[in-house]
Amino acid sequence: GNSVTQMEGPVTLSEEAFLTINCTYTATGYPSLFWYVQYPGEGLQLLLKATKADDKGSNKGFEATYRKETTSFHLEKGSVQVSDSAVYFCALSTTGGSYIPTFGRGTSLIVHP
């Protein structure tokens, strides 16, 4: 079956530091890969996605590249802000059926001023 493994948190950084949150996956077929973000007290929202190998998703300064050879989709940002403090979820979905996603367990990011 499908699975997503992401690094455990919390990840604690100072403002303007470089961020990496690791995500690896196992899947049958050719999945689409996602990062969702959950700000305090809110539901999840899509941050970025990539649908095929070597695609790079980007949004709000965050980037992730679909690496089929290493089955990874690591999230990066060059300079984090306090407002980036949130929980980040890596996810995948495979084509066919109802596109039910498989989520990782989430990584909490805390950014200090």
Give least dist CB 93 to other proteins, A: 5
Q: Residue 98 or residue 113: which is nearer to other proteins going by CB?
A: 98
Residue of the chain from 23, 57, 84, 93 that contacts other proteins (CB under 8 A): 93
What number of chain residues touch other proteins (CB under 8 A)?
21
Spacing of C-alpha 23 from chain mean position: 7
Hunting for tokens 């190998």 — which residue is that? 53
If one counts every other C-beta atom within 10 angstroms of the C-beta of residue 27, the result is 17
Per-residue x/- mask for other proteins, residues 9 to 38, rule CB under 8 A? -----------------------x-x-x--
Cα–Cα dist 3/78, whole Å: 28
